[in-house]
Structures are given as structure tokens and as C-alpha cells.
Amino acid sequence: MMSLLLDGLIVVALVGLAIQAITGQSLFRGIINFIVFGLTMALAWARIGAPDLAMAEAAIGAGLTGALMMVAYRRLVADEDGHVPTPPRQKSRLAIPIAVGSGLLVGVIGLGALLSDNPPGEAGQLVLETLPEYGLGNAITGVLLLFRGLDTLLEIAVLFTALLAARAVAGTGDSSATARTRHPETPLIGALLAVVIPLTILVAVHLLRAGTYETGGAFQAGAVLAAAGVLLVLSGRVSRTPSAGPLVRLGVLAGLSAFILVGLAPLLYGEALLTLPGMWSIYLIETAMMVSIAVTLILLFADAGGLRRERRG
Amino acid sequence: MSLQDALALIFLLAGCAFYLAGTVGLLRFPDVFCRLHALTKADNVGLGLVCVGLAILNGQPRVASMLLLIWLVGLLAATVSAHLIARHAHEREAPQDQELPRR
Amino acid sequence: MMDLALPGVALFLLLNLVAGMLRVYRGPTLADRMLAALLFSTTTVAVLLLMAEWMEMAALRHVALLFVMLASILSLAFVGLPSGTDEEES
């Protein structure tokens, strides 16, 4: 009974925060609402028994995206002297009917799904049965790498493409501007970094290793590492350079190339594409993906520091 | 209800009281510095009490040390955040310590 | 008994969070709104730890640790912002 109330409150909070975030009273309020929405979403994932998703949501949705939006706000919206221009208020008359219509659609579909009998989940059953053969304990890692490896490969490719696109846009910006916080020489920040960065690296490596049998995996580990990198960028310890050095480029490409190479290799032996030969290949791919995801996210964030607002007129 | 449960419950309720105090401070104090003060101190003590209660409830030393670690890193993060935000606010406005809240 | 108490405490903390949102609404400075994000961090960590206990999901403690490690990112990103005591335009 108490948990029902809790779940109900989470749902109400989610809807309320979402509405608040986009009804545009003031941009900064919308940003805070969005961040809190991400946090509440992480709680919702935890409630329905998906700790992997809660981890990813907390690290990326609330942490990275929140920081990214604040930096973009600083660069694009607020002037140098602190004056925030009025956002143009254009509410379409279709807004409310569309919102209500979408809500009804989701409600009808959800109701239909709840009322119908559960179809026998064959794929899920198969996954859970064959998982021990490969020595894996975490069904999510199994699905991501073994059973639906092509999806993951394409996702890494998408991430890479996004980085290229972002670099193309932000590369035209102010190269001397960074995402650095004010007073980066504050001793407290140094103390924070001294404790948090090593801890984060430890946790990331643990998550990478633990992904085979419990919550974790390449994506979570990469997101955690990326957050550490973002901390370094924000505190000015790592700055953005107009063109990335060779090591950085290697990091970005590592995940994609490792996955492609290991995936193509079975063709030489007459096996199907992407049949992974063993645990070592899983570790290799996961490590490479972790590095790539982390470097890509850090680069995406650091580039935001170079955004520049178009001066009109 | 065993002694372990009762003790844990006491700590959890105490933690709740501190969280409530922090929120009341956030809503009722006159300016941003007082609110920051209330928030960081009360909320983190609340978190510590909740951690103690959960450690008692769970009983495994491994879990208890994890909870301790979480609380300590939380303290560090709250300290740095409070300092940064207070400094930011101080550079931009004078505290309204001339006015007392009306009752 | 504890099955009722732990979700109850979590519920109470979430209600606290909702009440704290009022400060986001009223402001007046950007820093005040940022305080809400601070409140949410500590509250969410506590709720995650409570959930880890009553749902018996140890992984949630890892999520809470992650969360608390990254809590300072938002503050660091915030303090680079230019001043703005009141950004309400209409």
C-alpha cells in the first residue's frame, strides 16, 4: 500500500515536472525542472527493477545533460553583462489538443497491453536459458553483445556520427572560450578532484568488469568515466583544443573499430557475422566501447564551451 | 518488532526530521545564504542518520562500509557545492541581513 | 512492520522534494533555484538507499554512490553562469 502511494507520487511528479520544464516560464527554471525530471526518472527505473537504466539515467540524464544545458545556457542565452533576453512567446493553439491526444493514445495502448494475456515470451526465455553457456550472468550484457550485437554496433556508430556533427557545428565557434567554471583555482575544487577522480576511475573499471554478472557494463562504465572527464573540463584541468590529438582520436575510434574487427573476424572461419569467439572478445569490445563512449561524451561536452550566439542586426 | 528494527526505525525517523528541517529552512529563510546553510547542514545530517539506520537494519559490514562511503562522498560534494554557490551569490548580491522575517 | 516503514520514509522524503520545488518556482535568484537541485541530490540518494534495502537490490547502492560522486558537476557548471537576480520577463 505504501509502495503504491510512492509509485503514484513518482508518476505525478514526473508528469508535473515534464509540464513545468517545457511550458517555458523562464529558461533556467526549465533547465532545473529537466534535471529534477532526470533524477525522478532514475528513481522510477529503480522502482521497476532496472538498476542498469537507473545508473545510466543518473549519470547522463541528470549529470551530464544538466551540466551541458547550463553551459549552453551561459553561452547562447545570457549576455556577457548578465542580461537575459526575453524569450519569444509563441504558443501554438494546437499544443493542448495534441498533448491530450497523445496522452489518450498512450493510455489506450497501455490499457490494451494490461488487459490482454501475456504472450509467451519466447525470446526472453531463450536468452535466460542460454546465458550460462557463455559464462554470463547479466542478461542485459548478453542481449547487448551476444544476441543483438548488431544493434549495439550501430549505436556506437551513431554516437561517433553525432560527435562528428557536433564538432562540425561547434568547431566554428569561439576557440578561446571554454566550459570552465569561475575561480577554478579554488582549493576546495582541488580537494574534490583528488578524492572523486580516483574513486570514479575505480568505480568505472569495477562496473566494466562487473557487467558480465551483475549491474554494469560498458555503457555505464563509459558514462561514469565521462562524468569524471566533465568534472575535469569544468574545473579547468583539461581544456578544449581546436583539433584533437592522436591519442584522443584513437580513443574515439577504438570502440567502433574493435567491434567491427571482432565482428568481421568470424567470417574468416565461415561462421556468421558477429559470433563472438569467447569471453576475451567480450572484454575487449567492452573495454574499447567504454573508452570510446567516455571520450566521445567528454568531447561533446567540451565543445559546448565554444558555442557562440549569433548576433542579429 | 526486534530491537534491531526498533533502533533502525528511530534513526530513520530522526533522519526524516532533519530532512524536514532542511526543507522548512529552504522555504522560509529570508535569503539565499541562510537557505544554503539550512540545506547543506540539515540534509547531510539527515542522510547520515538514514545511512546509520539502514546499516543497523541490514547488518552486513560490507553494506555498512558502502553506506559510510556514500555519506562521506556526499559530504564532500555538498561542501564544495555550498561553497561554490555561496561564493557565486556573494559576488552578485549583498545578503539581506537587515530585514528580519515577519511573523 | 519494516515493509511499511521503509517505503513510508521514502514517501516522506519525496514529499519533501515536492515541497522543495516551491523554491524553484519562487526564486528569486538563480542560486535559489540551484538549491533545489542540491536538495534533490541528497534526497534522491536517501531514497535510492532505502529502495536498495526494501527491494533487496544491492545494485541500487552502486547507483547511489555514482550519484553522490557526480553531484558536484551541476554546481560546477552552474557557477560559471553570469549574474541574474531576476530573469522573469513576463
Q: C72 and A231 in contact by Cβ < 8 A?
A: yes
Instruction: C18-27: list long-range contacts, CB under 8 Å, 24+ apart.
Output: C18/A9, C18/A13, C19/B23, C19/B27, C20/B23, C20/B26, C20/B27, C21/A17, C21/A36, C22/B27, C23/B26, C23/B27, C23/B35, C24/A29, C24/A32, C24/A33, C24/A36, C25/A29, C27/C86, C27/C88
pLDDT for the residue numbered B66:
92
Look at the block and give the residue holding cell 542518520.
B49
| pLDDT, tens digit, 9 for 90 and up, residues A205-250 | 888 888 777 777 888 888 889 988 888 888 777 766 656 677 778 8
Name the residue among A32, A78, A215 with its Cβ closest to that of C36.
A32
- Determine which of C3, C50, C76 to mutate to test the interface with A (most A C-beta atoms within 10 Å): C76
Of residues A38 and A273, the one with the higher pLDDT is A38
In a domain, B64, yes or no: yes
What separation in angstroms does the CA of A257 have from each of A160, A272, B38? 11, 18, 51
- Backbone dihedral angles phi then psi of residue A289, each to the nearest 5 degrees: -65, -40
What separation in angstroms does the CA of A266 have from each of A150, A282, B57? 14, 14, 51
Q: A51 and C63 in contact by Cβ < 8 A?
A: yes
CA-based nearest distance A188→chain B, Å: 6
Chain C interface includes A239 (CB < 8 A): no
CA–chain centroid gap for A66, Å, is 11
Of the ranges A79-83, A135-139, A264-268, C19-23, which is most confident? Answer: C19-23
| pLDDT, tens digit, 9 for 90 and up, residues C34-44 | 888 888 888 99
pLDDT for the residue numbered A249:
81
> How high is the ipTM of this complex?
0.84
Residue ranges of A 8-37 with Cβ closer than 8 A to chain C: 9-10, 13, 17, 25-29, 32-33, 35-36
Cβ pair C63, A220 in contact under 8 A: no
Task: Name chain C contacts of B78, Cβ cutoff 8 Å.
Answer: 38, 42, 71
DSSP-based three-state secondary structure for A28 = helix
Q: A215 and C59 in contact by Cβ < 8 A?
A: yes
Residue ranges of C 21-80 with Cβ closer than 8 A to chain A: 21, 24-25, 30, 33-34, 36-37, 40-41, 44, 47-48, 51, 55, 57, 59-60, 62-63, 65-67, 69-70, 72-74, 76-80
Contacts of residue A241, defined as CB under 8 A and 6 or more positions apart, other chains included, come to none
Range of the domain at B10: 3-90
- Element containing residue A172 per DSSP (H, E): none
pTM of the complete model: 0.83
Q: What mean pLDDT comes out for the span A60-87?
A: 72
Q: Give me chain A's average pLDDT, please.
A: 79
In a domain, B43, yes or no: yes
The DSSP secondary structure of chain C, one letter per residue, reads: -HHHHHHHHHHHHHHHHHHHHHHHHH-SSHHHHHHHHHHHHHHHHHHHHHHHHHTT-THHHHHHHHHHHHHHHHHHHHTTSPP-S-----
Subunits with 3+ Cβ pairs within 8 Å of B are A, C
Q: B81 and C2 in contact by Cβ < 8 A?
A: no
Contacts of residue C2, defined as CB under 8 A and 6 or more positions apart, other chains included, come to B5, B8, B9, B57, C54
pLDDT for the residue numbered B1:
66
Name the residue among B20, B36, B81 with its Cβ closest to that of C71.
B81
pLDDT in tens, chain B (103 residues): 688 888 999 999 999 999 999 888 888 888 888 888 888 899 999 999 999 999 998 888 999 999 999 999 999 999 988 888 888 888 776 544 444 444 4
Chain A interface includes C88 (CB < 8 A): yes
CA-based nearest distance A28→chain B, Å: 15
- In chain A, % of residues over pLDDT 90: 4
Of A179, C38, A82, whose CA–CA distance to B84 is shortest?
Answer: C38
Instruction: Establish, for the pair of chains A and B, how many residue pairs have beta carbons separated by less than 8 Å.
Output: 23
Chain C interface includes B6 (CB < 8 A): no
Residue A79 has pLDDT above 60, yes or no: no
User: Domain map of chain A by residue range?
Assistant: 7-80, 136-313
